[in-house]
Chain A
Amino acid sequence: MKILLVDDEEDLVSTLAERLSFRGIDADWVTSCEDALKKVETEKYDLAVLDVKIPRISGIELGRRLKEKDPEMGFIFMTGHGSDDDFKAGSAEAGAEYYLVKPVNIELLIEKMKKVLED
């Protein structure tokens, strides 16, 4: 399982990636949309974990663009910064199942990831 973490907080994503690697999950991380879009050109990811609120374009929009490039990719959204509208849109598009509010419990995150990949 190879996953991509996108969040503008480097401290957060880098640590999260490291923790996931302890649990045997291969995770790359980026802090901007542009990097994320570049990353998927060269790498193949099973799943992307996206912050809803990232600078310039929203996590939801980024998810949509990534899906265009790789329709097989799964998504999990995180929010801690999102507005009500983001939350609503995210819930509707991604389904509340794949929607987590920060701070995220890592075991719960892994559980969700597995669920997404099964689907």
Chain B
Amino acid sequence: MGMLKPKFWDYYDVAAGPYKHLFNFRRIWKWAVLLTAGVSLLPLISITLIDYDFTQRAIESEIMLRTSRLVSNTRRSISFFLAERKSALNFIDHENTFEELNDHIRLGEIMVNLKNAFGGFVDLGVIDSSGTQRTYVGPYKLEGKDYSNQDWFREVVTRGVYISDVFLGFRRVPHLVIAVKHALPNGSFHVLRATLDTDKFNDLLSKLELSGMGDAFIINHEGILQTPSHSHGGVLEKISLPIPEYAPVTQALEEKSSNGAPLVIGYRYIANTPFILMIVEQKKELMKPWHKTRLELLGFLVVSITIILGVILGGATYLVNRVYLADQRRIMTLHEVEYSNKMASIGRLASGVAHEINNPLAIINEKAGLIKDLITFKKNSTKDPKLIGLVDSVLSSVERCGRITKRLLGFVRHMEVSVQPIKLDEIIHDVLGFLDKEAEYRSIAISVEIPNDIPQLESDRGKLQQIFLNVINNAFAAMSDGGHLDITARREDKDFVSATITDNGYGIPEEDLERVFEPFFSTKTKKGGTGLGLSITYGLIQDIGGRISVQSEEGKGTSFIITLPLKMAQKEGSET
């Protein structure tokens, strides 16, 4: 997790001032991620949810519609099946006189024709207006049977037609009866009655292609199954479902089965019959295609969200990191500019002070000099040695002040520079030449390691000498006798080399490190330091386009790193 954490995460710019939020990168990142994720994910999620709901409802309504259509079509086939047979009986009734129908042979021929034309006819009988079966063709002896008290006879007399419920005949085979009444012009009538087996009827239903473990069957108004069903009981058993409410048109509705599973039920009351056609399907099965679609939809959503979040997180992190790095560069530049400006201001102030002090100092110098001259040159003077000593002390103090002001002036003075090719090791050895005696006297060991691949510099020899002299002198002052001084150099890049001067002296406290290049900042004022050495060095290094930095640990020593350009940039106006 730590490796994934971007650089800006824990950064907090204490110096940002009242506009802190501008530099709170974590906050910028959070807002960027939240806003982008918000505007891209919200529409995606809402569209997906809307589509989810819409598709689900569309599929449900499609299921209802399909069931309803199937019921309608099947109802038409069944109605047609019954109407066809009813019409056939009506036709026979009208085509033949009562006498012809009562002719046993003629009725037999009609029965054969019906069986051939339609199939499923089991018997055929003629009943006169008193309810007595006059003629009968079929497997039973039913001639002379009196039906006058039976409900079906009364119904056919009243309504002209009768279609019975399914019943088990003597042979234990399900049958149904169709009877039609033929009214004669003389007010009399007779009834033609036929028994049909229900095989054809069952065929019609079993041939339906039902999805979702569907079940198509017919019940009567009491809920008794007229045709076999797969899962709601056998023929002439009561169905396990409630009897659907009467409606003149096809209905489709949702119902729960006895075990709680959702069912889709389509039904239709078949007019002028005791039959209700029902198609029952398992909703779960019907919704299977929807489940697949739903899974695809959710998968699409999850994949999309993952990709979008990945892109947003990656993008925001990358961009905020770039802003952070740019800001870091800005702060660094700002600090550098601030420091240079500060040094320049201090320099101007210092030189101003030096100039102002020099004149009165010169007067003191001349007056004290005159006093000495008066004592020394006048013939009648007492030549008091104490007086001469006092004047000498004044003169040497003035000289010391003069040295300080001269160095102050040197801190800002930009002398003409002369650029020439210089070898770094040569310069360092030249400088060490000045200090040989002191090093020997104080037993300071000096090691110089300058690799051969350090190229020649094009720079100002005088300034370089002064720079190294100041820094090495400084190192000497920071060490006790018997110390160790290391001078190394290396190539930084194609334009710069650096020299590092490391001593094992007292070191500089951390709180002083930032101030070592300021004028008058000295830790050895009591030992005669002016606090100008390093500030002058700083100015000189800037003059020749280099940099100086310092690392130190108290009690262990200090390293000054001087970075110099291989080719000194000529300042504007001094180009030759």
| A interface footprint on B408-419 (CB within 8 Å = 1, 0 otherwise) | 010011111000
Closest Cβ of chain B: how far from A9's Cβ, in Å?
Answer: 6
Closest Cβ of chain B: how far from A94's Cβ, in Å?
Answer: 14
Name which residue of chain B comes closest to A96, CB basis: B415
> Are B373 and A22 closer than 8 Å at their CB atoms?
yes
Answer whether A12 and B413 are a contact pair too, CB < 8 Å, given A19-B373, A22-B373.
no
Please indicate the chain B residues that have their CB under 8 angstroms from the CB of A104 in the complex: 362, 365
B569 in contact (CB, < 8 A): no
The DSSP consensus for interface residues of chain B is helix
Please indicate the chain A residues that have their CB under 8 angstroms from the CB of B402 in the complex: 101-103
> Are B355 and A15 closer than 8 Å at their CB atoms?
no
Cα A81 to Cα B351 in complex, Å, equals: 10
Cα A18 to Cα B356 in complex, Å, equals: 24
Cα A87 to Cα B413 in complex, Å, equals: 9
A73 in contact (CB, < 8 A): no
> Are A80 and B366 closer than 8 Å at their CB atoms?
no
Cα A98 to Cα B366 in complex, Å, equals: 19
Closest Cβ of chain A: how far from B404's Cβ, in Å?
Answer: 11
A84 in contact (CB, < 8 A): yes
| Other-chain residue from A84, A102, A106 in contact with B359 (beta carbon distance below 8 A) | A102
Please indicate the chain A residues that have their CB under 8 angstroms from the CB of B361 in the complex: 80, 102-103
> Are A81 and B358 closer than 8 Å at their CB atoms?
yes
A105 in contact (CB, < 8 A): yes
B406 in contact (CB, < 8 A): yes
Answer whether A103 and B373 are a contact pair too, CB < 8 Å, given A12-B363, A15-B363, A15-B366.
no
Please indicate the chain A residues that have their CB under 8 angstroms from the CB of B351 in the complex: 84
A11 in contact (CB, < 8 A): yes
| B interface footprint on A71-114 (CB within 8 Å = 1, 0 otherwise) | 00000001111101001100110000000011111100000000
Please indicate the chain B residues that have their CB under 8 angstroms from the CB of A82 in the complex: 355
Please indicate the chain A residues that have their CB under 8 angstroms from the CB of B416 in the complex: 88, 91-92
- Quick one: which of B299-341 are within 8 Å of A by CB? none
- Quick one: which of B353-410 are within 8 Å of A by CB? 355-356, 358-359, 361-367, 369-370, 373, 376-377, 398-399, 401-402, 405-406, 409
- Quick one: which of A2-56 are within 8 Å of B by CB? 9, 11-12, 15-16, 18-19, 22
> Are A15 and B369 closer than 8 Å at their CB atoms?
yes
Name which residue of chain A comes closest to B373, CB basis: A22
Cα A16 to Cα B369 in complex, Å, equals: 9
Please indicate the chain B residues that have their CB under 8 angstroms from the CB of A12 in the complex: 359, 362-363, 366
Cα A11 to Cα B360 in complex, Å, equals: 10
Closest Cβ of chain B: how far from A101's Cβ, in Å?
Answer: 6
> Are A84 and B358 closer than 8 Å at their CB atoms?
no
Please indicate the chain A residues that have their CB under 8 angstroms from the CB of B405 in the complex: 101
> Are B358 and A80 closer than 8 Å at their CB atoms?
yes
Cα A19 to Cα B377 in complex, Å, equals: 10
| A interface footprint on B204-220 (CB within 8 Å = 1, 0 otherwise) | 00000000000000000
> Are A103 and B364 closer than 8 Å at their CB atoms?
yes
| A interface footprint on B47-74 (CB within 8 Å = 1, 0 otherwise) | 0000000000000000000000000000
- Quick one: which of B411-429 are within 8 Å of A by CB? 412-416
> Are B370 and A19 closer than 8 Å at their CB atoms?
yes
- Quick one: which of B8-32 are within 8 Å of A by CB? none
> Are A101 and B406 closer than 8 Å at their CB atoms?
yes
Please indicate the chain A residues that have their CB under 8 angstroms from the CB of B366 in the complex: 11-12, 15-16, 19, 103, 106
Cα A92 to Cα B415 in complex, Å, equals: 11
Closest Cβ of chain A: how far from B571's Cβ, in Å?
Answer: 13
- Most chain A C-beta atoms within 10 Å of own C-beta, residue among B362, B376, B409: B362
Closest Cβ of chain B: how far from A75's Cβ, in Å?
Answer: 18
> Are B412 and A84 closer than 8 Å at their CB atoms?
yes
Name which residue of chain A comes closest to B374, CB basis: A22
Answer whether A84 and B414 are a contact pair too, CB < 8 Å, given A102-B358, A102-B359.
yes
> Are A11 and B367 closer than 8 Å at their CB atoms?
yes
Cα A82 to Cα B413 in complex, Å, equals: 12
Cα A88 to Cα B413 in complex, Å, equals: 9
> Are A103 and B413 closer than 8 Å at their CB atoms?
no
Answer whether A80 and B359 are a contact pair too, CB < 8 Å, given A15-B366, A19-B366, A103-B402.
yes
Please indicate the chain A residues that have their CB under 8 angstroms from the CB of B356 in the complex: 81
Please indicate the chain A residues that have their CB under 8 angstroms from the CB of B373 in the complex: 18-19, 22
| Other-chain residue from A18, A79, A81, A103 in contact with B398 (beta carbon distance below 8 A) | A103
Cα A79 to Cα B351 in complex, Å, equals: 13
Cα A87 to Cα B416 in complex, Å, equals: 11
| Other-chain residue from B362, B377, B401 in contact with A22 (beta carbon distance below 8 A) | B377
Closest Cβ of chain A: how far from B360's Cβ, in Å?
Answer: 9
| Other-chain residue from A18, A79, A81, A103 in contact with B365 (beta carbon distance below 8 A) | A103
- Top-8 shortest CB links A-B: A80-B358, A103-B365, A102-B362, A15-B366, A103-B362, A22-B377, A22-B373, A102-B358
- Residue pairs across A and B with Cβ atoms less than 8 A apart, 18 shown, are A11-B366, A16-B366, A19-B366, A22-B373, A22-B376, A80-B358, A82-B355, A84-B413, A87-B413, A101-B358, A101-B402, A102-B358, A102-B361, A102-B365, A103-B361, A103-B366, A103-B402, A106-B369
Known: A15-B363, A84-B413, A91-B415. 20 other contacts (CB 8 A): A9-B362, A11-B363, A12-B363, A15-B369, A16-B366, A19-B366, A22-B373, A22-B376, A22-B377, A78-B362, A79-B358, A80-B358, A80-B359, A81-B356, A81-B359, A82-B355, A84-B412, A87-B413, A104-B362, A105-B399
